[in-house]
Copies of this chain bind each other. A is one copy, B any other.
């Protein structure tokens, strides 16, 4: 399990390779979040981000059969097209890999202390939290998920 909060960019291919080595691993699901068409600054709460991400990863590991997992989240100024976040989950089978990866993203969106500020020509503004993100996290609380 690897969790990293960093300014630097990351290499999805290398990170996926790094968790694919176990001969019982048959599936790796991954996700990359990308800056759309506006420059942004990502602020975080240094003492808490690492803790929060570890907690989310552990929760995923208790719900699904996860062989290995990597979560990287960047902070600082990011240009359009830049990678913001990646999650990769290695499992024996794809069902576990997909579910755990999506779960980690949904929880990260509502539980990890990051905030985006967008820099537009008309001025800078903080991105507002989206109700759809709360809903996405909520659905994992349904029984059977």
**A14 at interface, CB cutoff 8 A:** yes
Chain B residues with Cβ under 8 A from A94's Cβ?
31, 33, 102, 105
Number of contacting residues on A, CB 8 A? 34
Within 8 Å by CB of A81, from B21, B36, B92, B136, lies B21
Main secondary structure of the interface of A (DSSP, over half): mixed
**A16 at interface, CB cutoff 8 A:** yes
Interface residues, chain A, with chain B CB atoms under 8 Å away:
11-14, 16, 20-21, 23-37, 80-81, 92, 94-95, 97-98, 101-102, 105, 132, 136
7 contacts between A and B (CB under 8 A): A23-B81, A25-B34, A25-B36, A29-B29, A30-B31, A30-B32, A95-B132
